[in-house]
Chain A
Amino acid sequence: MKDTPLSNCERDFLIKAIEEKKRLDGRQTYDYRKIKITFGTDYGCCFVDLGQTRVVAQVSCELVAPKESRPSEGIMFFNIELSPMASPAFEQGRQSELSVKLNRQLERCLRNSKCIDTESLCVVSGEKVWQVRVDVHTLNNDGNLMDAASIAAIAALSHFRRPDVGIQGEEVTVFSPEERDPIPLSIYHMPISISFAFFQQGTFLLVDPCEREERVMDGLLMIAMNKHREICSIQSSGGIMLLKEQVMRCSKIASVKVSEITELINKALFNDRTARKAGRKCGFAESLPQERITALKTDQSEVEMTDVSERASDIIQKAEAPPPIRAASPVLPAPGVGQVGHGLQNTWGLEEDEEQEEESSGEEEEIKMEEEQREKDKTTEAAVVEISDSEEEEVVILYPETTKKPKNAGSSSDQKGAAASKKRQKK
């Protein structure tokens, strides 16, 4: 299913906001969204929430024959599935460009950096080695799948326990978890990927783009580092052109972020370990917050009111002298003749007073605020007459003598003409 295209005004809004250093969710340029890491009941299962982006990683292993070129090393296999659950743009089964890109980036980030000791995965050299497989499934796409996937993969690998193996001569016995405790994998370091989104040909930079920001970005720079300040992988994508200084700046920012995130992963692993030892329940169901309605009103949210008074006085001052637009004087046609057109008297539906009021209320509501302020200033009486039965709408009838409207000149002349002709009719 094709993704709904982004409208031009939304795109312009996003880019303008980024130029003013504002983000959709109120973050700063270098801020990450809230990261939540939880583990499942089995070893090697990890859920990561990066804001609204959710991914799940599962590690599994089996005994296979090793590669001929590396007979004494285990095999690592990574796979990211972009399931249609995550976004309507993802199609089941088709290997899209994004899927290839994410898979290769995860492979390069974790495999080439040698974060896991593959030699410890060897059971019988040349015959049997462990093949460790990491499957990452995306559950909800709200931007920055790469970072979430890398955090999930490395956390799952750190959480995973492989079965213990005993070798007696030629015989190899694999012990089940009940017989002997499973052994954790030996992990040298934790590579975490940090994504930077570039806008306006590299002028503006954001860390951790959300889905909307990803749609308008020019390009992406992914830097994978570990907490020892070693860069494990860099990948630039999208048609942007970078400068060396930008890359260096990004790597400095990345080192700060990586140490924070590594702290978070270690804390989550520690909490899970203590929870398991204490025998408490753990797992995905436990990690979901119980959403109960405790109150029928929402909390007070803060609204920025610092410059409201200045802006209000600005509007009032600017509205002091509206340019008087003389609408064409309404021509009263002979009875039986109608006129329809912009700036002319509208002779349609003059009989229905109610319809008139509702039409005028619909058009006038948006400038009602301006009107009311101006009217209050001029201290003319605001003619607010309740005609319609609707309790929500405030109906304003405007007479040509009292107020002049700069906007909606066309329709206002209709209303003025209608009101004038109505008055004449009443007379």
Chain B
Amino acid sequence: MAGLELLSDQGYRLDGRKAAELRKVQARMGVFAQADGSAYLEQGNTKALAVVYGPHEMRGSRSRALHDRAVINCQYSMATFSTAERKRRPHGDRKSTEMSLHLKQTFEAAVMTQLFPRSQIDIYVKILQSDGGNYSVCVNAATLAVINAGIPMRDYVCACTVGFVDETPLADLCYAEESGGVSSLALALLPRGGQIALLQMDARLHQDHLESLIEAAMTACKGVSKVLDEVVRQHLQEASVLTRE
């Protein structure tokens, strides 16, 4: 991808955004009737579906049940048509397992699991179209699904992927920017307390730039949290309007 200018002199990126601009977010909650909670979220061209079942009784091995909190079980998978080349193994390979572990870790920090001992909460996320920032979109969609399921959480969990190009942090990377060898940082944040639930960074970045990159990521996450809050309020309004009639 050499030759593609990720940040032009006027400050515009490949898709015409400014450096700190997020992609357009569109979301719907309660898309499936069968699941306890579900949500569909689009961030630019990346589309993700999240479904939550629970809290319910432990399935499978009862021995894994925790006596004082709920177990969160996450599964991340990509649809075979989600990437440019058809994906041969949608789940079970190392990257998907790692992503599932990260999602589990993120939501274990945010969901109030102490209220549901000896139970299990399942979160399934599927990427329908992948255009960069897979992890962040998954986390945002799963947050909406967990809220839709009525499971109490400490705060919204918002995630964003930021990159560092030409001494400038770029918020919300798309696939072309991610694969261009840019150092990318994925951050999952609980906005009110400023607590980081997950921090993941690849590729080389000088230590001095780390602080500004984390700052940019936190600002972007706070922006995402405002959008998610809007979506939740709107959904509630629509639902209450319908029930009133």
Contacts and interface: CB of A to CB of B under 8 A. Distances in A.
A267 B204 CA distance: 25
A228 B207 CA distance: 9
Contacts of A242: 195-196, 199
Given A237-B105, A241-B109, A114 B197 contact: no
Contacts of A239: 105, 108-109
Which has the most chain A C-beta neighbours within 10 Å: B181, B205, B208? B205
Contacts of B198: 236
Contact of B206 (A108, A231, A241): A231
Interface string A208-244: 0000000000000100011011111111111111111
Interface in B91-119: 94-95, 97-98, 101, 105, 108-109
Given A97-B101, A101-B101, A239-B105, A231 B196 contact: no
Interface stretch (B2-10, B22-30, B210-218, B223-231): B210-218
B103 to A, nearest CB: 12
Contacts of A237: 101, 105
A241 B196 contact: yes
Contact of B214 (A103, A104, A247, A255): A247
Nearest to B195: A241
Given A237-B105, A239-B108, A241-B109, A247 B204 contact: no
Nearest to A103: B94
B241 interface: no
Which has the most chain A C-beta neighbours within 10 Å: B98, B101, B218? B98
A241 B207 CA distance: 21
A237 B202 CA distance: 15
Nearest to B217: A244
Contacts of A327: none
B194 interface: yes
A83 B198 CA distance: 29
A112 B95 contact: no
Given A100-B94, A230-B206, A231-B210, A236 B200 contact: yes
A387 to B, nearest CB: 50
Contact of B204 (A100, A114, A251): A114
B196 A236 contact: yes
> Could you say which interface size class chain A belongs to?
35 or more
Contact of A231 (B95, B98, B109, B204): B204
A295 interface: no
A415 interface: no
B97 A100 contact: yes
Contacts of B239: none
B200 A101 contact: no
A225 B207 contact: yes
B196 A104 contact: no
A158 interface: no
Q: Interface SS of chain A: helix, strand, loop or mixed?
A: mixed
Contacts of A278: none
Interface in A239-271: 239-244, 247-248, 251-252, 255
A248 B210 contact: yes
A141 interface: no
Given A100-B98, A104-B95, A251-B210, A243 B196 contact: yes
Interface string B178-209: 00010001000010011111111111111110
A113 interface: yes
A234 B201 contact: yes
A391 B194 CA distance: 66
Nearest to B214: A244
Nearest to B104: A239
B109 A233 contact: no
Contacts of B205: 230-231
Contacts of A248: 210-211, 214
Nearest to B97: A100
A238 B194 CA distance: 18
A104 B195 contact: no
B207 A251 contact: yes
Nearest to A105: B98
Nearest to B190: A241
Which has the most chain A C-beta neighbours within 10 Å: B95, B203, B207? B207
Nearest to B204: A230
B199 A236 contact: yes
A205 to B, nearest CB: 15
Nearest to A188: B204
B200 A244 contact: no
A230 B195 CA distance: 24
Contacts of A230: 204-207
Contact of B199 (A101, A114, A247): A247
Contacts of B215: 244
Contacts of A234: 185, 199-201
A101 B207 CA distance: 24
Nearest to B109: A239
A101 B98 contact: yes
Contact of B203 (A232, A241, A252): A232
A235 B199 contact: yes
B10 to A, nearest CB: 29
A235 B81 CA distance: 29
Contacts of A104: 94-95, 98
Contacts of B208: 229
B96 to A, nearest CB: 10
Contacts of B190: 241
Contact of A112 (B194, B199, B202, B210): B202
17 contacts: A95-B97, A101-B101, A103-B94, A113-B203, A221-B199, A229-B206, A231-B206, A231-B207, A232-B204, A234-B200, A234-B201, A236-B198, A239-B108, A239-B109, A244-B196, A247-B199, A247-B210
Given A100-B94, A230-B205, A237-B105, 15 more contacts: A97-B101, A101-B98, A113-B204, A114-B203, A229-B208, A233-B202, A235-B199, A235-B201, A236-B198, A236-B199, A241-B190, A241-B195, A243-B194, A247-B199, A252-B207
User: Which 10 pairs of residues, A with B, have the shortest CB-CB distance?
Assistant: A241-B195, A239-B108, A234-B201, A112-B202, A242-B196, A104-B98, A236-B199, A229-B207, A239-B109, A230-B204
